[in-house]
Amino acid sequence: MTGATGFVGRVLCDALARAGYRVRAAVRDVSRAPLCVDEPMTIGDLGVANQWLPLLRDVDSVVHLAARAHVLGDPAANAHLYREVNAAGTLNLATQAADAGVRRFILLSSVKVNGESTRDRPFSADDEPQPRDAYGESKWEAERHALAVGAHAGMEVAIVRPPLVYGPGVKANFLRLLNWVDKERLLPLGSIANSRSLVNIWNLCDLLLLLITSPAAAQRVWMVSDGENLSTPELIRRMARAMHRRARLLRVPPKLLRAAAATLGYRSESERLCGSLVVDMSRTRRDLGWSPPVSVDEALSRTAQWYLSGGSRGR
As annotated, the active-site residues are 135
CB atoms near residue 295 (< 10 Å) = 14
Angle of helix 172-182 versus helix 267-274 axis, rounded to 10: 70
Helices 232-243 & 296-308, crossing angle to 10 degrees?
60
Q: Which of 205, 220, 227 is nearest to 292 (CA)?
A: 227
The total number of residues written for the chain in this structure? 315
User: CA 4, CA 53: separation in Å to the nearest integer?
Assistant: 18
Q: CA 266, CA 246: separation in Å to the nearest integer?
A: 26
C-alpha distances (whole Å) from 103 to each of 62, 175, 213 are: 8, 37, 10
131 Cβ contact list (under 8 Å, min separation 6):
112, 113, 114, 115, 137, 139, 140
Write the CA distances from 277 to 26, 121, 252, integer angstroms.
33, 9, 21
CA distances from 236 to 175, 178, 207 (A): 12, 8, 26
Q: CA 67 to CA 90: how far, in whole Å?
A: 9
Q: Spell out the residues 6+ positions from residue 6 whose beta carbon is closer than 8 angstroms to its own.
A: 65, 66
Task: Pinpoint the alpha helices (H) of 19-154.
Answer: 53-56, 79-82, 89-99, 134-153
Neighbours of 298 (CB within 10 A): 14
The DSSP call for residue 88 is I
